[in-house]
Each structure stands twice: as C-alpha cells, then as structure tokens.
Structure 1
Amino acid sequence: MPQKSSIPRSLRRRSTDAEKRVWHFLRNRQLGGWKFRRQVWIDRYIVDFVCLDAKLVVELDGSQHAENVGSDLLRSGILERNGFRVVRYRNSDVLSNTSEVLDDIIAHLELRKCCARQASLVSG
C-alpha cells in the first residue's frame, strides 16, 4: 500500500492541462496574496487545490465527473462538514475562460474573508 504522502505527489506529477494552468496563477500567492496548496489530503479525500486560510477548496472536473455527480456531492458534503467551501470548475471552462474562473475564485475568497470577519465580530 502506498504511503499517504506518495499519492498526492504522484497526482502532482500527472497534472492535467487545466490543473497546470490554474496552478500557474495560484502558486506563490499570486492570486490576491492568498496561499494555495495543491493535491492535499482533507479528511479521506485529496483535493485539487485548497486555501487553508479561507477554507476554500477548488476542484477541477474532467468529463468523467458528469457520470459521478453523486460521489461528487458526497465528497463536497464531507468537505463542507469539515468547514470548507467547495467550488468546482470544468476543465474545459478553465482552458477556455481562465480569467473568468480566476475572477470567480477571487470572489469566493473575498466572500470567505468577509464571512470570517463577521463571525469574529459576532463571537467577540
């Protein structure tokens, strides 16, 4: 059985074109200063990208995900119960509308920041 750390490493080596494109913009805090990691274990799943500070998971879906809607919903539900917001984009959208996908990710990050700020005001 492979070690837990070897699976994400293998996935990083075999990234799709869409994953490579998104990672080009997410790495090194290039997207609004937010730090992202890729191919990370959360609970029992390896997510494509995660910003731990915003608790935002970004998943890129190939054509096979049209057949796996139920398992994607279950996966998203488990991640959300762990406090993460999951956003999904089709590989084809990433490749044809990269700037729109990145703008949408920024909008979700800002929303998470705003919600976190409001929660701290209510609890503090």
Structure 2
Amino acid sequence: MLWQLLRTSPNGHKFRKQHPAGPYILDFFCARANLAVEIDGIAHDMGDNPSHDEQRDAWLCANRIDALRISARDALDSAETVAQSVVDIVESRLKAFGKAPPSSLRDATSPSQVDGEDQKDRL
C-alpha cells in the first residue's frame, strides 16, 4: 500500500522500489535525498536479523545513505500518514542539503522584458 502512494512521486520526489545498494536490496529509495526506507515486519526482531539490520545500516551510513525504518504495522494501518511522513523527511533532508525542489515544483522562468517585446507598445 505504501508503494502505491510513493510511486506517484509525491511533491515531485521520485522513489524506487527494491533498489540494489551494494550487497543489499532496499525496500524503497529516494536517491535525491540519499534516503532508504525500510519496512520492518516481525521477522526483523528474530534470530540474527537485528544484527543483519545493524550491519546493513552501517554499510548504508558508510555510503552516505540514511535508513528510515518503519514498522510494517504502521505502514499497513496508515499508509497515507506514513507516506506523508516520508515525504516530509525527504523535504527536510533536501533543505538541509541545500538542494532545490524538484524541477516540477520550481517557479517557471519568464522571458525577459528587455528582449524587445515591450518595445512595440511604446511606438
């Protein structure tokens, strides 16, 4: 359900699903914000999975990618709220990085008034 919302590029932010990163596959990834979004079900608390998750997070961090971990229950119970939270985090990161908004959200540039277009009105 979360993917159905993120795949629409909310607020112009593009997400990838099942994105490879080194030896890992990320649930979702926003390259522009260097953000991995991981959905953690109950299996992440069992066996050596917590250790595996720590190793994955350390590898991602060493490669300048932060991991946002979301419980599967939260993603199922309120996909819209989770999606909005993810978008808010992406926008906060982009602002901190000093990156401009996605091109689809930037103000359009208008033609200059000095190129002679306004000259004909004066004649």
Give the alignment's TM-score, normalised by structure 1: 0.72
Aligned mates of 2:52, 2:89 — CA distance in 1: 23
Deviations 1:9-41 (A, max 9, x none): xxxxxxxxxxxx111001131x21101111111
Give the 3-state SS of the residue equivalent to 2:11 in structure 1.
Answer: coil
Give the 3-state SS of the residue equivalent to 2:13 in structure 1.
Answer: coil
Runs of 4+ in 1 over 6 A off after TM superposition: none
Deviations 1:63-121 (A, max 9, x none): 10012212111101111111111101111111112232122202210121012108xxx
Unpaired segments ≥5 residues, structure 2: 100-123
Q: What is aligned with 2:2?
A: 22
Higher Cα Rg, which structure: 2
Instruction: Figure out how many residues of one structure are paired with residues of the other and give that number.
Output: 97
User: Which of 37, 42, 47 is the aligned partner of 1:63?
Assistant: 42
Q: How high is the sequence identity, in percent, across the aligned residues?
A: 32
Q: Which structure's residues are more often helix, by fraction?
A: 1
Distance 1:63 1:50, change over 3 A: same
Unpaired segments ≥5 residues, structure 1: 1-20, 119-124
Which has the higher mean CA deviation after the structures are superposed, 109-118 or 84-93? Answer: 109-118
Give the alignment's TM-score, normalised by structure 2: 0.73
